[in-house]
Amino acid sequence: MHIYRFDSPKLDGLRRHEEDVPRPQRGEVLVRVHAVALNYRDLALLEGGILKPTRAGITPVSDGAGEIVEVGAGVTDLAVGQRVVGLFHPRWFGGPKRAERAIGSYGYDSDGWLAEYKVLSREAVVPLPDNLGYEQAATLPCAGVTAWNSVHGSAPAGPGQTVLTLGSGGVSIFALQYAKAMGARVIATTSSAAKAQRLLELGADEVINYRETPQWGARVKALTAGRGVDKVVEVGGPATIGQSLQAVAFDGEVVLVGFLGESGAPLDYFQLMQCGASLRSTNVGARPMLEACVRAPIEPLIDRVFGFDQARGAFEHLRSGQHLGKVVIRVAE
């Protein structure tokens, strides 16, 4: 089979290798991978910063979907031919967030999905409904679940509430779609006029260009009659948190998700205290959230699908920031 590995932990070190197809042991399944999807994390793991850089020899990509082609001894709940998607945290099955959830993290602690075949624990995959294709399903484990957790995780957003999404990356588009599906109003930001139009077409009620309106927090307040939004899906990090605290309602929630801009003004303690909102830090989500995502009434937005031999080009496209929605690699034709 063919499998990609970072021969050195940088993008031009990504190389295709030929290796034996692995065999499933007791409690495991062998999956023929059909599609994988990229996340900002797949680039961040190469660059260091808040995430520790990955190591040479690792297979990247946390998210994938495929078909079971062999089951190991003791697997009675899954069968050959079944279509599945993988969990982002292969050992977080439910319950509170604990440090152990990150054990086996794909692309860092253990090999990820960028291969023609992958062996997984039977508990680390979720069966797919018939209406969800492999490429769509592959977009869900990280970005979909994180957005689901952000929008539904504590007090679910719904009619009469407003959600603020930042930029038009994978997590933000899912957050927009889930919030709209639950009847909430969505205010979105972006840096691009063309993307603003697409966001409106996807259901955003208002769009603000964060380059043209750097004080977008005040604009959000004005759009909500001075109250602020009920939820901010905060993917920008240090670059955006100050404005997010301006934009949130006194009894709202800022969900701390990302770090797209790692530099920014230091957090103002008194602004944090006086905004009145609660802050919740996310780390993707547990298995029940992926089970909810595969049944959610939305269609994952795919920006572009690359071939298996174009894997490096897919990473470069993600790095360019030109995408809107998810970047997918089709592994099996």
State yes or no: residue 187 binds ligand NAP (CB under 6 A). Answer: no
Site string for ligand NAP, 45-64 (x = CB under 6 A): --------------------
State yes or no: residue 146 binds ligand NAP (CB under 6 A). Answer: yes
Please, what is the minimum distance in Å from the beta carbon of residue 87 to ligand NAP? 13
Number of Cβ atoms within 10 Å of the Cβ of 268: 13
| Cβ atoms of residues 112 and 142 within 8 Å | no
Parallel/antiparallel/unpaired status of strands 117-121 and 125-127: unpaired
State yes or no: residue 177 binds ligand NAP (CB under 6 A). Answer: no
State yes or no: residue 202 binds ligand NAP (CB under 6 A). Answer: no
Instruction: Tell me which stretch binds ligand NAP (CB under 6 A): 14-22, 98-106, 139-147, 286-294.
Output: 139-147
| Cβ atoms of residues 128 and 83 within 8 Å | yes
Site string for ligand NAP, 268-297 (x = CB under 6 A): --------------xxx-------------
Helix (H) or strand (E) holding 161: none
Burial class (CB in 10 A: 0-12, 13-18, 19+), 95: exposed
State yes or no: residue 231 binds ligand NAP (CB under 6 A). Answer: no
For the record, the structure tokens of 223 come out as 């759009």
Can you tell me which of 115, 142, 186, 293 binds ligand NAP, judged by CB under 6 A? 142
One-letter identity of residue 205: D
Residues 59-88 that bind ligand NAP (CB under 6 A): none
CB contact burial 157-181 (16+ within 10 A = b; e otherwise): beeebbbbbbbbbbbbbbbbbbbbe
State yes or no: residue 238 binds ligand NAP (CB under 6 A). Answer: no
List residues near ligand NAP by CB under 6 A: 39-41, 44, 142-143, 146, 166-172, 189-192, 195, 210, 235-236, 239-240, 257-261, 282-284, 318, 321
